[in-house]
Amino acid sequence: MTKIVQIYEGKAKKVYTTENPELYIVDYKDDATAFNGEKKGTILGKGVINNRVTNHLMKLLEKNYIPTHFVEELSERETLVKKVTIIPIEVIVRNIAAGSLSKRLGIPEGTKLSKTILEYCYKDDALGDPIINNYHIDALGLATPEELAIIAKYSFEINELLQNYLKDLYIELIDFKLEFGKTTDGKVILADEISPDTCRFWDSTTGEKLDKDRFRRDLGGIEDAYKEILKRLLGE
């Protein structure tokens, strides 16, 4: 399968059409942004790590009956995926207070939440991805109530599966962001990525941050943190 036409370039990935109208190729970049693109930088080797980590986790989810867009890893940075129309909702799953939740509600970072919290953001860079609820989603027609119910169910299941898997690797899953897409035949499947760019991973013994917060907050040691995640998950 080869790349034919670039149809999309986001902050971290490019997407291309292929000979097969039902398949796309995703190409991961080293570019890093934060705060809706205000802060820009490069994390050397990030594209390779995010590609490999995402595919590893998508395979784990597929084995556990979560449908994903993953088809085949083509190279270090490229993956063949099913063509979907991205549903313009960012789903945030939170187990421990951090980031914007801590800021918004005044809950100190690291506080364990008594229940997992699901949040939705409207995927719109110009608006800064504002937080919305199920009524906004219904009224704006971003997804039907039935589709949103599937999205929420998959998101909680993904959280359980990832938390359990990462626990054995001494990684605590603080929170993460998911995106879903619709296939041509109307099925809702997991799309986008699951990586240190889109998750907060804390070392469960030291509490060390092993994710993009090192870039967002200028903590240094970014490349090493991403490499550590690759090593723990894929053993390399």
**Least Cβ distance, residue 88 to ligand TMP (angstroms):** 13
SS3 235: coil
Cβ proximity to ligand ASP: between 33 and 204 the closer is: 33
199 makes contact, choosing from ligand TMP, ligand ASP, none, with CB < 5 to 8 Å by partner type, with ligand TMP
Q: Alpha-carbon distance 191 to 181, whole Å?
A: 6
**Subset of residues 11 to 70 that bind ligand ASP, contact rule: CB under 6 A:** 11, 33-37
CB 173 within 8 A of CB 204: no
CB 87 within 8 A of CB 143: yes
Q: Which residue is nearest to ligand TMP (CB)?
A: 99
Q: Alpha-carbon distance 163 to 87, whole Å?
A: 25
Q: Which residue is nearest to ligand ASP (CB)?
A: 33
223 makes contact, choosing from ligand TMP, ligand ASP, none, with CB < 5 to 8 Å by partner type, with none
In b/e form, how buried is each residue of 166-202, taking b as 16+ CB within 10 angstroms? beeeebbbbbbbbbbbbbeeeebbbbbbbbbbbbbbb
Q: Is 110 in the site for ligand ASP (CB under 6 A)?
A: no
**Least Cβ distance, residue 210 to ligand ASP (angstroms):** 15
CB 96 within 8 A of CB 111: yes
100 makes contact, choosing from ligand ASP, ligand TMP, none, with CB < 5 to 8 Å by partner type, with ligand TMP
176 makes contact, choosing from ligand TMP, ligand ASP, none, with CB < 5 to 8 Å by partner type, with ligand TMP
Handedness of CA 146, 148, 154, 159 (dihedral sign): negative
Binding site residues, ligand TMP, CB under 6 A:
92, 98-101, 129, 175-177, 198-200
